[in-house]
Structure 1
Amino acid sequence: MGKHGKPSGKSAHDAPGSVVRARPLPVRSAVRLRRPVDIWHKPALSALVALAIPDLTLYALGRLDLILYTSAGAMCALYAHGLPYAARARTLPWVVLGMVASLGVALTAASLIASTALLVVCASLVAAAHKMVCDATRIGPPGNVILTFITASAFFVPQHLGQLPLHLALAFGTGVLAWLVCMAPALIRPQGPERIVVARALEAAAGLLRTEAGTGGAAPAGVAHARHAAAAAVNAAWHTLFLVPARTPDTAAARAGLERLLVRAESASGSTGLARGVAAPGAPYAAGFAGAEAERLGGWARELRGGRPLPEVALSAAQAEELAGVAAEAWGPRRPGPGHPRGVRAVLARLAPGAPLLPIGARVAVGCVLAGWASMAVGVGHPYWAVVTAASIYQANTTLSWQRALQRTLGNLLGLLLYTALLPLIHLGPLAMIALALACQLGAEATITRNYWLGSVWVTPMALLLTEFGSQVPATTLIADRWLDTVVGAAVGLACCVLVTNRRAADRIEVALERVAAAEAVASPLLREGAATGVDEAREIGWARDRLAGCLVELREAVEVAAGEWWQRAVPEERIVHAEQRGHRALAGLVRRLTAPALAA
């Protein structure tokens, strides 16, 4: 249990914040349905097309036994749909190469290693690598799950070395197809992804305005949540716009219009809270004006989502100078401030010794190995599903992992019932099996953002159908093995999650608090002057604002991760509240230096 695995009883002389608390694990919130993600149909349709073309081709050739290898590349179509097309074009090849490399490791091991126990170890180490790399790169949904699902399956497929070139070529070829499918919408709506992310920022800012106007200036938990959501949405939108090149006048004009809308959203979210003292007297928002501004921001968001022309937005002179001056540089409209690692350096920093991802990687490796071995002990000959189940439940903290384990178990059980109900259709022949697999893929993407258990209901029969293509296994055996693997994988994986504590979760809060304090110290001298004048000063204020906003988002994420560890030091709540209040007050001040008097327009 490590240094935090001590009895919770402490003497009065112990250091503050060192008390260890055991937190309850929720059940009701784990199964509650949410609203679906706004772009769920994009990865769903992309994967459907990328899977259908090779599946039907293999059916025509009579080689459905190769469907696992074509699925490996086609499944890459699920990734990078939140990125602008230029960044997506660069990111998806890395996903495809990662998938092909992982598949190559798995097939080579399957060819050379006869011991099932050793194959479980290899699959578990690859699953841990998938988890850490996907989290470090922040690739987004579906994360490590698809990579681990395909790779873990391949570890237990009969194979010899002479087959590897063909199988890897199939995976690479369908990966190229997935790239083409994911890039095709750029021909119709080339600014679609950045329009959506800016629309989300506008909607979050409008939600914050409505929340604060409805509370009469109080600061309940709902306002804090809305403020964090607005800051995170604006921060994510700026990072997305960083990735948009402006190689032609048309693309530059489109990006500039989105920048102006995002500045307006940031102005709204940074200038709220007048009644609480977050904004100084004279700030542009009065209580009666908040509703009108929220309606305006919501209307702009609807125009962006509907593909209509960008609306005209009024900006202050300082904002216009910042955007006009910095847009002339090669970095784009809002260059990240100095000292912020980007690209490969940022990924390596997240994987460095002492990084918070390392305990999660250890959990995945240990949990998958033990789950696979336990599955073997109960008589499952190919325990890859136990490895996949254990790998899929590991989230940022114990509470989220518990919820995922519960969701996975419930979803797989219902999925097995669905598969049993579909057996008469499955027996109609290969073409019916292909149609059902594609339907299940579409159903999984349509429902998984509402709740993971609901998506798992569709994922389970799709996975079983892929198994059916490669080898004929009696349905009763297949269902029994899958159920045993699910229960064993979830139980053992969750036990390892509880036992292998993330001792760095509380330390991450301390680091985040220090970063917020440092960012606030940089911002303080800039708050003592009036409205920004000149491009250089506007750029400096913009950097300080970006740095402080990013640090506040990181602090809130660190708090949520630590709060979800069931056995962890007490969170320094007073320090966190104080730091967030001071940070948002400073952020509002920086925004006012750039926005006044734009919002009066």
Structure 2
Amino acid sequence: MRLRRPLETRHWHKPAFSAAAALAVPDLALLAMDRMDLVLYTSAGAMCALYGHSKPYAARARTVAWVVLAMIASLAVGLVSSSFIDHTLLLVLIASALAAVHRMMCDATRIGPPGNLIITFISASAFFVPQRPDQIPFHLLLAVGGGAVAWLVCMAPWLVRPEGPQRIATARALEAAAGLLRAAPDATAGPRHATAAAVNAAWQTIFLVPARSTAKYTARARLERLLLQAESTLAAAGAPAGGSHSDDVPARVRTADVPAGVRTADAPAGVRTADAPAGDRAADAERFEAWARDLRRGRPLPEVALDAGQAAELAGIAADQEGAELDLRHPSPDHPRGFRAVFAQLRPGSPLLPVGARVMIGCTLAGWASMAIGSEHPYWAVVTAASVFQANITLSWQRAVQRALGNLLGLLLFTALLPVIHTGHLAMVLLVLLFQVGAEAWIPRNYWLGSVCVTPMALLLTSFGNALPASVLVRDRWVDTVVGGVIGLVCCVLVTNRRATDRIEAAMGRVVAAQDAADAVLAAEQPDDQEAGWARDRLAAALVELREAVEVASGEWWQRALPAERVTLTERDGHRTLARLVQHLTAPTLAA
């Protein structure tokens, strides 16, 4: 039940107001035409505005477009099933199978919040909306219109802050590095993992940023050099205990021409090793945090010194390669991309397959149990069960408790607002928009708090097309929440993910392979910087994957004994090799 700190959830307003704006346009248009019964279809496309906000705009355009297509395809399955299938048992089964597909695809693509929940909610609702075949094309066209509005809303900030997403990713890496510098020398394992993950995520974001002009090249190059500052802390923290000296750690860059808005005092003094005085490490952390604040607020980036080779390269680009694809860092050639990466996650033996089976069985049983009790909204039980299933049984238990508490409080809020709701559709639309903003503002603090807004919003969306008595809505919602939560938890216990431990073994194998490749690069007389960069990317990604696999398996029950000692040794050796790679890559760039 504990709430996260506001600083950890500072970007909630982006998806919140994007979704509210995308919903407002079609909802107000339908209100003017007195066709509020069509809200479900326009909302299907408009809710896609919740996705893609962490990606640079070029990648965001593709991501949101794919989400819209997935939403429309899922909506089409629901509408066609509703038109041609009369058996509710079969409808629940198909909706549950679709929910399992949503979960596996969202996990495989790492789409990020809100994950599969929104698509599952909309498509499951469509299975139980009365539908005629001749209406389907028009209803899908409404969803396309809502999706187009969502796409435009998601891309609109590009006009104001075209570098916003990559600046924020770099700021997060700097803040994580500041946390590593502030950590006690004997308690750096957790902050080190957090820093490695944040730096790796920032590099993956920057890799998506095109640099087809001198201006774009310069902006991206500055972010890369700032990101190297965050990464350089891993060299100190990853060094073997008692075996590192300050001379082995690359000096940080000096500040050259500092633009307005960046203080000269913010120039870094030098990476502090674990045995450096705490005051020096704190001073370095403060500089990182100051840089992060400047990045988040859109202030000019600090100019960092280039060596002669980089300066000549930049000058040559400015003179000869205007508009060409420029040579910046890119992911390794074997980095999986596109559909190949997604299908690799869903191959036979994948740990995502038991998760999909768990979702399908749990959602099906929850929907059937809701029907047996007499609920008129069995899809609510399906959606509840789908939302309960998390990465492991421990997290699923927490989510079930959070959802039950949030829904109960949300039902009380809905009941209290009935006099306002009964005043007409305009009040209902305004409440939907208000609850949408509230849900996105509160869910990052804790899921149960966000559910307080999600529950009345879902009831209002249901009320537009099918005006049932409030008592029936409240009863069905509460019954379906309890049924879906309980059955979901039972399925988590019965359908175990025995492949979670296999994922750890596979992840350790990837770390060892990446470490061996890195050692081979570093053993060369003159290590190639490009090969070293690719080796660093592979090793960092493998370490992040190993840590994630361990955390998932630790929350499952009925597992083989986790290889805790081997994991510890593998992570220790991997981070030491990563530190050596960072030292090699940052020393030439960061030389004063």
Q: TM-score normalized by structure 1?
A: 0.89
Deviates more, 1:95-104 or 1:567-576: 567-576
CA distance in 2, matches of 1:190, 1:390: 39
1:230 to 195, 218, 222: 195
2:124 to 147, 152, 164: 152
2:171 aligned partner, one-letter code: A
* 1:376 alignment partner in structure 2: 371
Instruction: Give the direction of change, closer, same or farther, for the CA distance of 1:64–1:549 in structure 2 (3 Å limit).
Output: same
Partner of 1:509 in structure 2? 504
Q: Give the distance between the partners of 1:405 and 1:110, measured in 2 at CA.
A: 29
Q: 1:290 aligns with which of 253, 275, 281?
A: 281
Q: Distance in 1 between matches of 2:523 and 2:180?
A: 27
Cα distance, 1:396–1:352 mapped onto 2, change above 3 Å: same
Q: Which residue of 1 aligns with 2:19?
A: 47
Number of the residue aligned with 2:453: 458
Q: How does 1:361-440 map to 2 (within 5 A)?
A: 361-440=356-435
For 1:240, the equivalent position in structure 2 comes to 205
Counterpart AA for 2:142: L
- Whether 2:205 is the aligned partner of 1:201: answer no
Relative contact order, higher structure (CA 8 A, sep 6+):
1
1:107 aligns with 2:102: no
Give the Cα separation in 2 of the matches to 1:273 and 1:138: 28
- Pick one of 151, 162, 177 that aligns with 2:149: 177
What do residues 150-187 of structure 1 show as CA deviations (whole Å, max 9, x unaligned)?
01011000111011011100000110011001101100
Gaps of at least 5 residues in structure 2 are 250-271
2:480 counterpart of 1:480: no
Give the distance between the partners of 1:237 and 1:244, measured in 2 at CA: 11
The residue identity in structure 2 corresponding to 1:62 is D
Please report how far the alpha carbon of residue 314 of structure 1 lies from its aligned counterpart in structure 2 after TM superposition: 3.8
Deviation at 1:196, TM superposition (A): 0.4
User: For the structure 1 residues 251 and 319, does the alpha-carbon distance in structure 2 shift closer, same or farther, using more than 3 Å as the test?
Assistant: closer
Aligned 8 A contact 2:294 2:301 in 1: yes
Distance, in Å, in 1 between the alignment partners of 2:588 and 2:136 is 65
Match of 1:350 in 2: 345
1:78 and 2:50 are equivalent in the alignment = yes
SS in structure 2 of the partner of residue 449 of structure 1: coil
Question: Is 1:254 matched up with 2:219?
Answer: yes
Instruction: Name the amino acid aligned to 2:202.
Output: A
Single out whichever of 454-463 and 286-295 deviates more from structure 2. Answer: 286-295
Hey, what's the Cα distance between the residues in 1 that align with 2:315 and 2:564? Answer: 41
Residue type at the aligned position of 2:563: P
1:190 counterpart SS class: coil
Give me the TM-score of the superposition, normalised by structure 2: 0.91
Deviation at 1:519, TM superposition (A): 1.0
1:568 matches 2:559: yes
Give the superposition deviation at 1:396.
1.1
Deviation of 1:335 (Å): 2.0
Deviations 1:21-58 (A, max 9, x none): xxxxxxxxx55444452311001011111001111111
Aligned to 2:265: none
Match of 1:447 among 439, 442, 446: 442
- The answer to whether the 8 A contact 2:211-2:326 is kept is no
- Higher mean C-alpha displacement, 264-273 vs 427-436: 264-273
Deviates more, 1:514-523 or 1:332-341: 332-341
1:412-433 per-residue CA deviation (whole Å, 9 max, x = no partner) reads: 1111111111111101111111
In structure 1, list runs of 5 or more residues that go unmatched: 1-29
Q: Deviations over 1:284-324 (max 9, x none)?
A: 33413422322221111111111111102246789989999
1:133 partner letter? M
Alignment of 1:10-29 (within 5 A): none
Partner SS, residue 574 of structure 2: helix
Q: Does 1:89 pair with 2:84?
A: no
d(CA) in 1 for partners of 2:95, 2:406: 23
CA distance in 1, matches of 2:210, 2:587: 29
Instruction: For 1:456 and 1:121, locate their aligned partners in 2 and report how far apart those are by CA, in whole Å.
Output: 26
**Secondary structure of the corresponding residue to residue 559 of structure 2:** strand
Does the 8 Å CA contact 1:274/1:280 hold for their aligned counterparts? no
Could you tell me which residue of structure 2 aligns to residue 128 of structure 1?
A: 100
Residue 533 (structure 2) pairs with residue 542 (structure 1): yes
Mapped to 1, the partners of 2:309 and 2:571 lie a distance apart of 26
- How many residues are aligned here? 561
Task: Tell whether the 8 Å contact from 1:242 to 1:332 is kept in structure 2 after alignment.
Answer: no
Residue 597 of structure 1 deviates from its aligned partner by 6.5
Partners of 2:213 and 2:325 within 8 A in 1 = no
Tell me which residue corresponds to 1:557: 548
Aligned equivalent of 2:138: 166
Distance 1:259 1:277 in 2: 31
1:338 to partner: Cα distance:
3.5
**Paired amino acid for 1:437:** V
Q: Offset of 1:91 from its aligned partner?
A: 1.2
Give the letter aligned to residue 494 of structure 2.
L
Q: Which aligned pairs between 1:247-326 and structure 2 lie closer than 5 A? A: 247-272=212-237, 276-277=241-242, 279=244, 282-284=247-249, 285-286=272-273, 287-288=276-277, 289-314=280-305
> 1:330 Cα deviation (Å)?
5.2
What is the alpha-carbon distance in structure 1 between the residues aligned to residue 243 and residue 26 of structure 2? Answer: 57
Separation of aligned partners in 2, 1:375 and 1:384: 9
Deviations 1:386-408 (A, max 9, x none): 00000111111111111111111
Alpha-carbon RMSD across the aligned residues, in angstroms, is 2.2
**Aligned residue identity for 2:217:** A
Q: Structure 2: how far apart are the matches of 1:420 and 1:525?
A: 66
Taking a change above 3 Å as real, the CA distance of residues 321 and 112 of structure 1, as seen in their structure-2 partners, is farther
Distance 1:361 1:242, change over 3 A: same
Contact 1:131 1:361 in 2 (8 A): yes
Which of 137, 142, 155 is equivalent to 2:109? 137
Higher deviation after alignment, 305-314 or 197-206:
305-314
- The 3 A distance-change label for structure 1 pair 228 and 324 is farther
Residue in structure 2 matching 1:98, options 70, 74, 91:
70
1:136 to 1:451, Cα distance in 2 relative to 1, 3 A: same
Task: Identify if the C-alpha distance between structure 1 residues 290 and 484 changes in structure 2 by more than 3 Å, giving closer, same or farther.
Answer: same
Change in CA separation of 1:98 and 1:275 when aligned onto 2, cut-off 3 Å: closer
Q: 1:85 to 1:265 in 2, by over 3 A?
A: same
**Structure 1 SS opposite 2:161:** coil
Deviations 1:175-223 (A, max 9, x none): 0011001101100100011110010011111111111xxx2x32x3xx2
Cα contact 1:523–1:545 (8 A) shared by 2 = yes
